[in-house]
Structure 1
């Protein structure tokens, strides 16, 4: 009584999971590059704005606005990384579900 073991399905699942990892890493690296460029651009723009400040009131207003803008930028960047992670998690979960069937 011999049972033939089918290694094809697990092998394909491993390939798919590795492809999901490669895709997530690639997207993450691309997002890191974009994030770096956005931050560099943000700070370059803010330096230019800061050069035109004349009064203490200008400094305070500028500081509040710049911090709010930076927070929004960082929030959007965090959401982009979260989306990459969620996409990878959903794809991996779907693949594991196929194995369970």
Structure 2
């Protein structure tokens, strides 16, 4: 009596997981490019604004406003990376749950 081992399901799961990884890496690289472009544009605009400062009060307001805007930009970028990771985790978890069925 011989039992044949079915490697098809684990092999397909491995392929799917590798595709999930490739998709996550691709999205991450695209997001990094977008993030870099956003940061460069942000600082370019802020440099132009800084040229117009006339008083210490202007400098303080500019500094607070710029740091607040930068924080919001970075927060949004972090949320975008988190969404990529969450999507990949959910897809991988779903694939692992199929293996146990």
Per the shorter chain, which TM-score range?
A: over 0.9
The residue aligned with 1:31 is 31
C-alpha distance in 2 between matches for 1:89 and 1:72? 25
Equivalence for 1:82: 82
- Aligned match of 2:14: 14
Aligned CA-pair RMSD:
0.3
2:46 aligns to what? 46
Residue deviations 1:68-92, cap 9 Å, x none?
0000000000000000000000000
Q: In the aligned structure 2, how far is the partner of 1:11 from the partner of 1:69?
A: 47
Q: Which ranges in structure 2 are unaligned for 5 or more consecutive residues?
A: none
Structure 1 residue runs of 4 or more that deviate by more than 6 Å after TM superposition: none
1:42-88 deviation per Cα after TM superposition (whole angstroms, max 9, x unaligned)? 00000000000000000000000000000000000000000000000
State the TM-score, normalizing by the size of structure 1. Answer: 0.99
Unaligned runs of 5+ in 1: none
- Cα distance in 1 for residues equivalent to 2:36 and 2:2: 58
1:96 offset after TM fit, Å? Answer: 0.1
Aligned length: 101
